[in-house]
Amino acid sequence: MHGPTSPAWLLVALCAATGAYCLLRMRSGVEEQRRAAGGEALMGFGMAVMAVPATAFTPPGWAWPLYAAVFGAAALRTLWAARSGPHHLHHLVGTGAMVYMSLAMAASPTSHHHAHTGAGEPLVTGALLLYFTGYVLVSGARLVPAAAPAGGTVAPRWGDRPELARACRLSMGIGMVAMLMTM
């Protein structure tokens, strides 16, 4: 990722924290939540690694194709899971975006310098930016608290808190917008 170093480190911290919380969510008692949390943890940590500023670490040339292969495999797994419900389609777009960014970095003539200006196809980058910007706006609106139901309810475990899962997805969406804007 190119650009100022401080925002890049903030993006690394945001994505790593999101990935760490998603690992906690994998302890949920609900299998579907565990499975989704695993994919989201992969995305969070993958985005964190991809966002490390070039001043700290420049990946070797073989890293980008390897990255594309890992997220390509995750996309195939998500495509298989999408048969059971449309809620997996967002994960498919996310893994596809990671494959796209990895391939754009691999094809960039200056990829070994981490200077990514002009990497990728503008139409694809623009479409992904529109999608993730819309996703961030809708996800942010969903986080607005609703009126609490009357009566005492048992607080859910950390891995089963839907508002935190939504906040994780929102932060990864924000991170994806930031990463796509630097392409």
Query: Residue 114: its pLDDT value, please?
Result: 47
Query: Residue 39: its pLDDT value, please?
Result: 87
Query: Residue 18: its pLDDT value, please?
Result: 94
Task: Find out whether 88 and 45 touch, Cβ atoms under 8 Å.
Answer: no
Task: Find out whether 50 and 1 touch, Cβ atoms under 8 Å.
Answer: yes
Give mean pLDDT in consecutive 10-residue pieces for the chain, a chain of 183 residues.
76 94 85 82 94 86 93 92 82 94 83 55 94 95 71 59 83 94 86
Tokens found for residue 99: 């494959």
Query: Residue 162: its pLDDT value, please?
Result: 74
SS (H, E, C) 92-153: HHHHHHHHHHHHHHHHCCCHHHCCCCCCCCHHHHHHHHHHHHHHHHHHHHHCCCCCCCCCCC
Query: Residue 112: its pLDDT value, please?
Result: 46
